[in-house]
Amino acid sequence: MKLANLELEGEPCVGVVKGDQVVNLAVAFNLILDGAVKFTRGSPQSEARHTVLQAGHLPQDMTQLLPQDEGWFRALDEMLSGVVDYLHGDRQLTGLFIPVEQARLRAPIPRPGKIICVGRNYAEHARERGAELPAQPIFFLKSNNTICGPGEAIVLPPNSSQVDYEAEFAVVIGQGGKRIPEEKAYEHIAGYTILNDVSARDMQAQDKQWFRGKSCDTFAPTGPWIVTRDEIPDPHNLRVSLTLNGQTMQDSNTSYMIFKVPYLVSHLSQSLTLEPGDLISTGTPEGVGAHRTPPVFLQPGDTVSITVERIGTLTNPIVGP
């Protein structure tokens, strides 16, 4: 299931992508509760409706949605499929069906509590920068002012001339927890998305650490949506690629990650509590601009697109200060 955050008539709403349309969750729930959509007693859709509604409350935003368990998400998918079939895709119902190409998609999680990134998690990326392979994961934070969504501009700061791209596969925490055993890590993952770990290399060099250079406004485009965990049973066999103005700059696979997803989740949780909506961005492969000859940095008018297999494509234009 693809969970999307979108803007409708100036207001945020959560939707589920079904084929070429987004189903507005709030409208779908209201139609069911008001009796405008009825399911045959004992049918799979009726049972799914019961499972979804017995959760006790209807999620109002993405962060409330994410902690639900896998069975609840399966029931939600079944129920929404029933809504679509019942209404035969009636586009006259205002706000229920939004064509994907017309939807104003926003970052799936507008203000995550934590954006945790992993440095040097691909061997070839470590080698291209002349660094040794890490014995333990290297973690750093991006602040949540960095978040922007699909199609939104990455704004180059006036105090940097070396802004770089980094294509990354990101984990979205669902059920929070602390001291999570590695074998139970997937139970705490709601799904996956794409993150561009945009980085000001000159700031990193000046500061001798990464926080400021990674945390400029708009430096963490995410999206276009969250794909739930059940849709990607193996997150370690996904192609990750990035194009700059149509030219391929990065092209790798999550199978080359040094530290795998369950280990990262478990290792982090030994020290800090993971919470619903937290993002763990799992590192970038080789091909970043700073280590090319000559270096390639983002310029006003550029367009950068990241594609992760089974998730989709995240595209953002570049603008000046």
Closest to 315 (Cα-Cα) out of 300, 3, 304: 304
Give the closest residue to 150 by CA, choosing from 316, 15, 304, 4: 316
Contact assessment for residue 315 and residue 150, using Cβ atoms and an 8 Å cutoff: yes
pLDDT exceeds cutoff 70 at 90: no
CATH number for the domain running over 2-104? 2.30.30.230
What are 137's two structure tokens? 């994961």
- Over residues 33-61, the pLDDT tens digits come to 888 888 999 999 999 999 998 876 677 78
Alpha-carbon distance values, 128 to 2, 94, 142, 228, 288 (Å):
35, 52, 23, 33, 9
**Stretch 77-94: mean pLDDT:** 78
CATH 2.40.50.140 fits 109-319, yes or no: no
Peptide bond into 233 cis (omega under 30): no
For the CA atoms of 283, 287, 291, 294, what is the dihedral angle to 10 degrees? -150
Structure tokens at 241: 């690629």
Q: Which residue has the higher pLDDT, 131 or 31?
A: 31
The whole-angstrom separation of Cα 183 and Cα 261 is 11
| Nearest by Cα to 250 from 211, 286, 300 | 286
Which residues partner with 164 through β-bridges?
199
Which pLDDT score is estimated for 126? 83
pLDDT band at 128 (very low <50, low <70, confident <90, very high): confident
Statement: residue 93 has pLDDT above 70: no
Q: Which residues pair with 239 in a beta bridge?
A: 253
- pLDDT band, residue 125 (cuts 50/70/90): confident
- What confidence tier does 277 reach under pLDDT thresholds 50, 70, 90? very high
Q: What dihedral do alpha carbons 135, 137, 140, 145 form, nearest 10°? A: 150
More confident residue, 92 or 274: 274
CA 110 – CA 98 distance, rounded (Å): 20
Numbered ranges of CATH 2.30.30.230 in the chain: 2-104
Tokens read off for 285 = 């492969």
Rounded mean pLDDT of the chain?
94
What pLDDT does residue 185 have?
98
Q: Residues near 215 by Cβ (< 8 Å), separated by ≥ 6?
A: 141, 142, 143, 145, 146
Confidence of residue 94 (pLDDT cuts 50, 70, 90): low
Residue 200's DSSP bridge partners are 163
Residues of the chain within CATH 3.90.850.10 domain(s) are: 109-319
Q: Give the model's pLDDT for residue 236.
A: 98
How many whole angstroms separate alpha carbon 102 and alpha carbon 132?
Answer: 46
136-152 pLDDT, tens digit each: 999 999 999 999 999 99
